[in-house]
Amino acid sequence: MCNSWTSRLAIAFSVGLAALMAQEAPLDPHSSIKINFPPDSPLALISANMGESRAASRGSAVVLDLHMALSLRNVSANRVRGVTLLVLAQEVTPGGKASVSVPSIDVASGQVFPVRIDLRLLRPAQVASGPLVQIDLDGVLFQDLSFYGPNRLDSRRVMTATDMEAPRDRQYFKSVLAAHGAAGLQREVLESLARQSERPHLNVQVSRGRAVSSAALGAERLQQFAFLQFPDSPVRPIDGSAQIFGSEARAPNIQVLNRSHKAVRYVEIGWLVRDSRGNQFMAASVPASGPELYLPPGRTARVLQDSSLKFARDGGQPLSIDGMTGFVSQVEYADGKVWIPNRSSLEQAKLLGVVGPSPEEQRLTDLYRKKGLNALIEELRKF
């Protein structure tokens, strides 16, 4: 399904790095970039603009600043709702690979759409042949939530959850418009914008394995989790705790119960922390389970083990942890279907002011901010 332009780009040319090592140089799309779209891909590459993409020597590495614009066409019969690309300079080098995801789109069959790639990657200088960057298609999500691609980045689950958030939040704003008119919708959008600007931010550093204790952090203590429960959640947290060292939470251990009728292969835990002044922060939505998880109906499992989280306010000031609250923020069943909390559950748990807004809520409120109330109403009426 790829055209001849795609085929030419997909050929790996030998690249001499001597010129790049001497000074910063622009990237040649025909010799520096390899774009891999399989023959049965639902997307075809129409063009690739390298823009200001450049390569430069930094010690023993080549730094690749990518500023590319791809034009892709949906050559399938289905509407495309999300795309994820794997951008690879070197598989095993830290900083050598990244991804670009375009969620919550609506691309009809035959339609062309853009994908921006703005990334910085590292590649060992001693690798002296082959393309500098390889771009692979990791996944395409369709309107019916079917999926195409190798899913190396777990993009199916991520894009499915995002695509489920979009109608949830659109429908909420539509219901406000129907019940309270344009003035009510405006009030709700202004409240959302205020929450987004006032939401407390926290920097979180996650590492695997148990960290080494430091006397400077103070005495270790065991802190129990409190839990928020959602009535429709298929997985329920039962108990949990973590070792607290000042601003670090180490070896968290949460037991969850699968109360659904289907097997579960992924659980994500939303983690709130409270400081000594009673301020509450959304710390993270932490993947609580690895690829080895298989949780049958009615069974329990312990998740979030062998990890450490370090919390700091904006500016780097450590946050002293006084309390922790957890909730199940996402579940993936063994059949690939995904559960997320509904809007009512988030509101009743008073999480809307703490958790970040969905990409769709951000899109709709940005539309109001840039183009006004009438443009937002017109957009909502399209669905």
What pLDDT sits at residue 356? 84
Kindly provide the b/e burial profile for residues 201-233, where b requires at least 16 CB atoms within 10 angstroms of the residue's own CB.
ebebeeeeeebeeeeebeeeeebebebbebeeb
The CA distance from 257 to 360, in Å, is: 31
**Best mean pLDDT range from 50-54, 159-163, 201-205:** 159-163
For 230-261, the pLDDT digits (tens) are: 999 999 999 999 999 888 888 888 999 999 99
Q: What is the pTM of this model?
A: 0.80
User: In the chain, where are the structural domains located?
Assistant: 4-153, 159-198+360-380, 202-355
319 pLDDT band, cuts 50/70/90, is: confident
Assigned token pair, 35: 């774009």
4-153 with 202-355: one CATH topology? Answer: yes
Do the beta carbons of residue 339 and residue 234 sit within 8 Å?
A: yes
The CA distance from 106 to 104, in Å, is: 7
| pLDDT tops 60 at residue 15 | no
> Both ends of the chain: CA-CA distance in Å?
31
Do the beta carbons of residue 228 and residue 326 sit within 8 Å?
A: yes
Assigned token pair, 336: 């690939």
Of 16-30, 67-81, 136-150, 266-280, least confident by mean pLDDT is 16-30
What pLDDT sits at residue 51? 86
Calculate mean pLDDT across residues 222-229.
94
Helix axes 359-371, 155-198, angle to 10 degrees: 50
Residue 70 backbone phi and psi in degrees, to 5: -100, 145
Taking the CA atoms of residue 278, residue 284, residue 349 and residue 236 in that order, the dihedral angle to the nearest 10 degrees is: -120
The CA distance from 239 to 226, in Å, is: 8
Cα 262 from chain centroid (whole Å): 25
5 pLDDT band, cuts 50/70/90, is: very low
What pLDDT sits at residue 21? 42
* 318 secondary structure, DSSP code: B
Of 138-152, 310-324, 369-383, least confident by mean pLDDT is 310-324
* 294 secondary structure, DSSP code: -
How far apart, in Å, are the Cα atoms of 285 and each of 5, 271, 325, 345?
A: 41, 6, 12, 17
Residues above pLDDT 70, as percent of the chain: 86
Q: For residue 173, give the H/E element and its range.
A: helix 155-198
Nearest partner of 303 among 239, 371, 355, 245, judged by Cα: 239
The CA distance from 180 to 8, in Å, is: 56
59 pLDDT band, cuts 50/70/90, is: confident
| pLDDT tops 60 at residue 27 | yes
209 pLDDT band, cuts 50/70/90, is: low
Do the beta carbons of residue 295 and residue 301 sit within 8 Å?
A: yes
Assigned token pair, 89: 């300079």
Residue whose pair of structure tokens reads 């993936």 in the numeric block: 332
Q: Does the CA dihedral 182-183-187-188 come out positive or negative?
A: negative
Do the beta carbons of residue 143 and residue 155 sit within 8 Å?
A: no
Is the domain 4-153 a CATH 2.60.40 member? yes
The CA distance from 100 to 33, in Å, is: 16
What pLDDT sits at residue 29? 58
The CA distance from 54 to 93, in Å, is: 19
For 88-122, the pLDDT digits (tens) are: 988 777 888 999 999 889 999 999 999 999 999 98
What pLDDT sits at residue 362? 94
What pLDDT sits at residue 30? 61
Taking the CA atoms of residue 195, residue 200, residue 203 and residue 207 in that order, the dihedral angle to the nearest 10 degrees is: -80
Do the beta carbons of residue 311 and residue 203 sit within 8 Å?
A: yes
> For 202-355, CATH number?
2.60.40
* 304 secondary structure, DSSP code: S
Q: Does the CA dihedral 31-18-59-56 come out positive or negative?
A: negative
The CA distance from 238 to 235, in Å, is: 10
Calculate mean pLDDT across residues 163-189.
96
